[in-house]
Chains A and B, each alone.
Chain A
């Protein structure tokens, strides 16, 4: 069937990107795959009215983000799993490769309100415009701007965005 063939091609092309979005939202690779698969099954069900992979991509991403927001489990520590306790000190995006950078970034994201996290993930991981992010989250473009600014400010305060130039100084 054309529907199945198109969907299979779409999944092959976009699955890993969706899992990465889920990973940024949840900090857990298993949950990220669960979310990506749930979003893709809903996309399959809606395929007939999406009129092609271009619309399907936005639909799948929007669905995944909304599932992630709804699925937030109020774990009492608010923590994510890690193999070890991160060391003290500022984090940087440049410099020698840091094997713990993934854990540190996910922890910093997990500490943000879910709405701010969703905006940052859509804007800066999925490279969505303000208008696309607003549409995906069902909020206004102004709210996208303010959430992005607040989220960036929080990450900056956490030392996550320390700039290479400043660090050298």
Chain B
């Protein structure tokens, strides 16, 4: 049997579907008709909008009601732009963390393979959602290091999907939403009433959820990133129609505001991420531009950077920002923005060589960059965890190709001793399970939740 036929046979076997995967014909027709009518309406609206825009000055900021209708322009929501000081260095040093040891803690009472969302909520670890018997679960649990115990929390309300959740801790509530599957879930259990989209806010103090309707213009989004500015949750993402959207939600006023910056002509957005520094909100947009030529295609790509300051206008901050390195959400630290290592960014249809650029610190005033030393862990996508004074780099157990087949490489963690400017090896977690999420730093210790709900702590 040739390699091609062997692969065809393997692919056929690996993609066998259960009998209950059936075409949701009626639902697709209903959604298709609705999208078609929306598109027809949008064409008429755009003609009118062009006329209006030609008369009125373009506004950088618009508010949205919960039906997605853009009313007139308003002033920037007060307090949206942070005005505090950057976080001060705190916590144990890298040298101290290098002496920490692992402890096994009680397992999470979730009965899922992998929770959908894991986050540190001030004084407890929250783990929500995940598949249970093949179905998405609304259940959640919280672990308090102070008591060493888990407790169940109120399940997420119907309509708050957790499958591909975007979440952020606001200081008192846990904001979570899943805009991707809100109206595009699997064929099972779908109904218009469950189609949302809703965002949920969980308050650990009362063990209660509240919900807010997400503007319709934010539906149909891919992975979004979220940040908390001190008054607003800000979401940034790119829709399946290659449209950038940046939105702010003020939980106190239960108000959404669309604050999307305008991209340069020809820049088609692919991914976006957002971070709030002490003085401004910064959005990074990975873009690409594909042009057909008579003998093939031409692809350009890069990263646009915009900053929203207190006067409510976006400023193009791209400047010297590195254009060829992918990026995840930077961490705001006392030493500037910490950017994790990334691969080469050359557009979605490009297969770059497997090279990883190092992580680095940078500041908005010129984007001067200070590289973080390359760690001894040869991980393709390491996660940086900022402790307040040190960087922990974590690489979970991964499957590797070897000459004898696939094998498991154990998890590896290292910590950067900034004083000595060198990485120190941390003890390996006592588990072969994959990590359910990047480890979480609590301020004094590192918590690690793995598949099948096992919990470990690296503590001094």
The answer on a CB contact under 8 Å between A7 and B381 is no
9 inter-chain pairs at a CB distance below 8 angstroms, sorted by A residue, are: A7-B28, A41-B32, A45-B35, A77-B396, A79-B398, A83-B113, A85-B434, A91-B406, A139-B349
- How far, in whole Å, are A33 and B187 apart by their CA atoms in the complex? 7
Please judge, given known A-B contacts A7-B32, A73-B223, whether A16 and B23 are in contact too, CB under 8 Å. yes
B16 within 8 A of A: yes
The CA of A164 and the CA of B397, in the complex, are separated in Å by 30
Cβ–Cβ < 8 Å partners of A107 in chain B: 399, 406
A44–B381 contact, CB under 8 A?
A: no
Task: Give the chain A neighbours of B29 by CB distance below 8 A.
Answer: 4, 7-8, 44
Q: Is the CB of A137 within 8 A of B1?
A: no
CB distance from A167 to the nearest CB of B (A): 11
The 8 Å CB contact of A11, one of B4, B23, B401, is: B23
Q: B148 on the interface (CB 8 Å rule)?
A: no
- Cα of A71 to Cα of B407 in the assembled complex, Å: 27
Residues in A whose Cβ lies below 8 Å from that of B357? none
A69 with B434: CB separation less than 8 A: no
Contact string against A for B residues 369-411, beta-carbon threshold 8 Å, 1 for contact and 0 otherwise:
0000000000011110000000000011111011111111000
User: Which of B39, B180, B328 lies at the interface centre, i.e. has the most chain A CB atoms within 10 A of its CB?
Assistant: B180
Asked if A106 lies at the interface with its beta carbon under 8 angstroms from chain B, I say yes
Interface residues of B in 405-441 (CB under 8 A from A): 405-408, 432-435, 438
From known contacts A11-B28, A15-B23, A34-B181, infer whether A158 and B401 are also in contact, taking CB-CB under 8 Å.
yes
Contact with B along A37-49 (1 / 0, CB 8 A): 1101100110000
Are A104 and B297 in contact, CB atoms less than 8 angstroms apart?
A: no
| Distance of A24 Cα from B25 Cα, bound (Å) | 22
Interface size on B, residues (CB 8 A): 79
A121 interface residue per 8 A CB criterion:
yes
With an 8 A cutoff between CB atoms, is B265 at the interface? no
* A147 beta carbon closer than 8 Å to chain B: yes
Interchain CB contact (< 8 A) of A40 among B11, B28, B408: B28
**Extra A-B contacts (13), CB below 8 Å, given A33-B187, A73-B223, A160-B7:** A7-B29, A11-B23, A12-B25, A23-B15, A45-B36, A45-B39, A79-B399, A82-B113, A85-B433, A86-B399, A157-B401, A159-B406, A161-B10
Are B434 and A104 interface neighbours, CB within 8 A?
A: no
Q: Contacts A7-B32, A161-B7: A20 and B17 contacting too (C-beta < 8 A)?
A: yes
Pairwise interchain contact B290-A85, C-beta atoms closer than 8 A: no
Within 8 Å CB of B406, what residues of A? 86, 88, 91, 104, 107-108, 158-160
Which 7 A-B residue pairs are closest in the complex by CB-CB distance? Answer: A15-B23, A44-B32, A159-B405, A105-B14, A115-B351, A90-B405, A158-B401
Interface contact B404-A159, CB-CB below 8 Å: yes
Taking the complex as formed, is B84 at the interface, i.e. its CB lies under 8 A from any CB of chain A?
no
Q: Is A138 an interface residue (CB 8 A)?
A: yes
Q: Is the CB of B15 within 8 A of A20?
A: yes
